[in-house]
Structure 1
């Protein structure tokens, strides 16, 4: 995303607004750049493989997750580059609370 706007922020926040997608994203962020397979995600999250695949597709669509082929497996990893910009975008729109209130 070259320019962060409300549509971009909504897509990122929308992808993370689902509890299972947020769990998957956090699991991938904890795994680091080496990533993990969908099977490991499924076993770690108590989600069915088809559910994991569905949620990974949505996270990938928004750029929050990337994948690579490693032998017979597809390895997924979190792409955290959009997290800071969406938080900065939201923060820039918020008015700090007054110390008097």
Structure 2
């Protein structure tokens, strides 16, 4: 991932409301969530949610698909993995034990929530 691309993704996440939406979509998995469902879950007004989804989408962090009359939003997992990889790229400096607690913490959380990560 290029630095400019990482900055764009981090910028899209650097807002409390957008971060909340993104995290909810990550938890929703491949099923995703309809826009109305996201709005109810977050308490965000539809026009604000639309703006947030557009910003996250432009950064590649959210994808959408039409299902009947609804638009279903899902997290852009590939982009998320690229961003996390970029952030961890220089983390270990040849010492993988530095980043091992991150992997363990993520695994514990996924196990506790009963989902695959």
In structure 2, the residue matched to 1:56 is 53
TM-score (normalizing by structure 2): 0.73
Gap runs ≥5 in structure 2: 94-117
Aligned residues: 93
Q: What is the correspondence of 1:1-101 to structure 2 with a 5 Å cutoff?
A: 4-94=1-91
Post-superposition CA distance 1:48-76 (Å, at most 9, x none): 01111110000111111111111111110
TM-score (normalizing by structure 1): 0.84
Gap runs ≥5 in structure 1: 97-101
Which protein has greater RCO, CA pairs closer than 8 Å, 6+ apart? Answer: 1
Higher helix share: 2
Give the deviation of 1:93 after TM superposition.
4.0
RMSD: 1.4
